[in-house]
Amino acid sequence: MASLLQPDRVVYLVRGEKRIRAPLSQLYFCRYCSELRSLECVSHEVDSHYCPSCLENMPSAEAKLKKNRCANCFDCPCCMHTLSTRATNIPAPVPDDPTKTAMKKAYYLACGFCRWTSRDVGMADKSVASGGWQEPENPQTQRINKLIEYYQQLAHREKQDRDRKKMARRRQCMPLAFSEKYGLGTRLQRQRSGAPISSLSGLSLKEGEEQKEITIEPALALDEVEPLPEDCYTRPISLPEVTTLRQRLLQPDFQPAGASQLHPRHKHLLMKRSLRCRKCEHNLSKPEFNPTSIKFKIQLVAVSYIPEVRIMSIPNLRNMKESQVLLTLTNPVENITHVTLAPCEDEDPDDINSTAKVMVPSKELVLAGKDAAAEYDELAEPQDFQDDPDVVAFRKSNKIGFFIKVIPQKEEDADVTVSFKIRHDFRNLAAPARPSEEGADAAAEAIWLTHHVELRLGPLAP
């Protein structure tokens, strides 16, 4: 199948905040809005953080405190694979008799891919397998912490100013009788001039408590720099001892120039996120909380609700000549679906990429419901849909193959692109029924959905 490993050859248009064209396998379907959703028009929410190596789960506050890194797992600084703890026996002096030695277990970090070990950079072995490892200290840590405190104070001050202005606008709109009735006018007059109203804003400090001002020293450029070593241009270069650009950027606080300065880095945490529709605020995707589980509590992917169009065979396409293309249409739901195809109008704002004229079947296509056990049931009688052989090439379970006719209009090196509308009925069986006179049957009432589909059929034949 031409689009099995090339999903971007068949794209659907999403009419959200941004008009995005994407494969159906990358889209979501909101059952409450009955519209397609892409990753650009949904809200992303972080559910949990976890380590991909030890699968330790931690809340967002703890992950932020640990800078989104695991405290127990490390990455190899050379090849970025996960490091494992190895045990070995080393001779150690006996405490009672220093002249004698005894074998003692020692633990070190080793990479099973590139054979890097913590001993290569002079890290001391540990006597226990668990616990923290020796880490180099950044000489600029004090300066960075002071900058963080300064900008946190600056952000807090700006927030106070914004909230104070917002509170001042509210007081201007307050009726005079209301303020006098509850004694607000007298209370405002007692305040010191220019002092914030702590009872209203809640932003000022307590009386007698002064906010400590944090000042930072500006960074100064040095006129004198450290000179290069004398053998800089004459010393032969050993490439295995020089770090790559990626290895340096993974350690921005040190940026080691030599392989002997590489130290293991704590493993980055991953997160489980849920997606929410911005229009109705219902969840479109919500994974299980447990990091070991790959299941979803809610997963409204579009391929489970919208008929999927795929390209099965493409003939040689020639300019201004009619060609017949075989497509397949798959029904993902369990009930029978009726599909009608229509070409785009002349001034359709969605049709901006078409380079060929397309003629689609005028008859309605009927798709059988999805039945997982149908292909294993040999005694099941096939349904008779009375298909037109000029339109439907084959039918198998919930999938049919049908023909469309394409006439390329532009003689260019770019791919031939055709667009058409697909209209199908949809019954929302999972959405809660709204109270109405008809009762609960109103929830199963069919609605008709229309989607804009674009096919990229490839270049013209020579």
Candidate from 127-131, 366-370, 393-397, 442-446 with smallest mean pLDDT: 442-446
Residue ranges in 12-76 assigned as alpha helix (H): 60-65
- pLDDT tens-digit map of 197-233: 443 444 444 444 456 778 888 888 888 888 888 888 8
Secondary structure of 302-368 in the HEC alphabet?
HHHCCCEEEEEECCCCCCCCCEEEEEEEECCCCCCEEEEEEECCCCCCCCCCCCEEEECCCCCEEEC
Q: Which two tokens stand for residue 325?
A: 């293309």
Q: Are 248 and 255 spatial neighbours (Cβ–Cβ below 8 Å)?
A: yes
- pTM of this prediction? 0.74
- What confidence tens digit (pLDDT) does each residue in 83-105 have? 999 999 888 888 777 778 888 88
Q: What DSSP assignment string belongs to 82-106?
A: BPEEEEEEEEEE-SS-TT-EEEEEE
For position 23, what pLDDT does the model report? 93
Q: Who's near 36: CB < 8 A, 6+ residues apart?
A: 12, 14, 15, 16, 27, 28, 29, 30, 302, 306, 451
Among 181-190, 386-395, 407-416, the least confident range: 181-190
- What would the pLDDT profile of 25-77 be if each residue is shown by its tens digit? 999 999 988 899 999 989 999 999 999 999 999 888 999 989 899 988 999 99
**Residue 72 parent element (H or E):** strand 69-75
> What is the distance between the alpha carbons of residues 155 and 196, in angstroms, rounded to a whole number?
18
* Greatest distance between any 2 Cα atoms in the chain: 98
Least confident of 128-142, 272-286, 292-306, 313-327: 128-142
Asked if 25 and 281 count as a contact pair (C-beta separation under 8 A), the reply is no
Mean pLDDT of 118-124: 89
What are the structure tokens assigned to 318, written together? 């020639």
Give the closest residue to 369 by CA, choosing from 429, 441, 313, 450: 429
The mean pLDDT value for 135-152 works out to 88
Average pLDDT on 231-257 reads 88
User: Any idea what the Cα angle at residue 88 is, between residues 87 and 91, rounded to 5°?
Assistant: 140
